[in-house]
Amino acid sequence: MRALVMTAPGGAEHTEIREVGAPLPGPGQVSVDVAYTGLNFVDVMTRRGDSAYAADWPYRPGKEVSGTVRAVGEGVTGLAVGDRVAAAPVGAGLAEVVLAEAALTAPVPDGVTLAEAAAVPLGLATAMLLLDDAGRFTAGDTVLVHSAGGGIGSAIARLVPLLGGGRLIGTVGRPEKAEAAVAAGYDAAFARGEGLAEAVRAAAGGRGVDLVLDPLGTDALELDLDVAAPGGRIVLFGNAGGGAVADLPPLARLMAGNLTVTGFSHRGLAATAPERLGRAIGKVLGLMSGGGLALPVTELPGLDSVAAAHDAMEQGRALGKYVVRVVG
């Protein structure tokens, strides 16, 4: 089968398509004939060699797929060969066949296309967990989202109205992406730079924001603390810049504002509490099936298009969610 392989840390020059053997499922696993794979910034972070993302090279990326069940391993129930599914594999999803734990594989309901479903296991499910689980979103909350123009940012804009609504403010890395974020559902969006804190406070009506969702490591943490309303929650869920992470704020500062700083990791949840991630995947697919949730995706034609898409993501030129058509 064909699979995308990253041979060493760096850029597109180390990405190639290889012929490899198709995997067989072990106990509790399924193998999936991949129709579509979702692209995510975590693959870009891995490609450039950020610490803690790839222990060995060559590395095979791809952490969310859709397709049909090819084979089931011992002990798997509720899934059968030929079922349409969405799954969150540990990696290697940019390939014609992938392995996934059955606990992280969910049937795709009628009315949901496989292209749409490929955006669920990491993208939309992470957005749901950030809001509903880690962020304790309450209807009417004002939410600040960094990197609002990306896949997770776009997913959050779709989910907030379904969870009761609230004011949604975004930040973006490039000024030209602010308009696209507003078109995607944000009430206001600003390029990160001078005067950002004042702009966010004004957009929040002067009272601050209730929930901050931040994939920028600790680069924007000082801003997050400055614009948080009393009792605000800050969820750190990535380190997009790839730099060193600073110390967290002193306890006294958090106590003074009744603030909470929480960490979230999709990979960590998949490893330690897969049932929670599996429930989120199923919940999102159910919302899509009922017609209440839709996330536009940009479909790429094949594995050969992935390296250029990763370049666009790394350079801040990508908008919204990319899915790659692998087979079919």
Minimal CA–CA distance to 4: which of 55, 48, 56, 43? 43
Segment 299-322, tens digit of pLDDT: 999 999 999 999 999 998 888 899
Tell me how far apart the alpha carbons of residues 197 and 288 are, in angstroms, rounded to a whole number: 35
pLDDT beyond 80 at 52? no
Segment 12-26, tens digit of pLDDT: 999 999 999 999 999
Residue 34 within any structural domain of the chain: yes
Residue pointed to by tokens 């190639």: 16
Distance of CA 84 to the CA centre of its chain: 21
Residue 259 within any structural domain of the chain: yes
Listed residues 223, 250, 265: the one ending a domain: 265
Residue 132: its pLDDT value, please?
94
Read out DSSP for 85-145?
EEE--SS--SBSEEEEEGGGEEEPPTT--HHHHTTIIIIIHHHHHIIIIIS---TT--EEE
The count of other CB atoms within 10 Å of the CB of residue 301 is 8
Kindly state whether residues 90 and 138 are assigned to the same domain: no
For residue 115, what is the domain's CATH number? 3.90.180.10
- Per the DSSP assignment, residues forming a β-bridge with 114 are none
Listed residues 265, 280, 310: the one ending a domain: 265
Tell me how far apart the alpha carbons of residues 127 and 73 are, in angstroms, rounded to a whole number: 30
Contact predicate 142/204, CB 8 Å: yes
Segment holding 70, helix H or strand E: strand 65-72
Segment 78-117, tens digit of pLDDT: 999 999 999 999 999 999 999 999 999 999 999 999 999 9
Kindly state whether residues 88 and 135 are assigned to the same domain: no
Kindly state whether residues 181 and 165 are assigned to the same domain: yes
Q: Which CA distances in Å does 110 have to 24, 85, 285?
A: 27, 11, 10
Residue 290 within any structural domain of the chain: no
| CB within 8 Å of 175: residues ≥ 6 apart | 191
Contact predicate 115/66, CB 8 Å: yes
Kindly state whether residues 232 and 132 are assigned to the same domain: yes
Q: Domain range for residue 301?
A: 2-119+295-325
Q: Exposure string (b/e) for 224-240, b if CB count within 10 Å is 16 or more?
A: bbebbbeebbbbbbbbb
Segment 198-249, tens digit of pLDDT: 999 999 999 899 999 999 999 999 999 999 999 999 999 988 877 788 899 9
Residue 295: its pLDDT value, please?
87
Residue 226 within any structural domain of the chain: yes
The model carries a pTM of 0.90
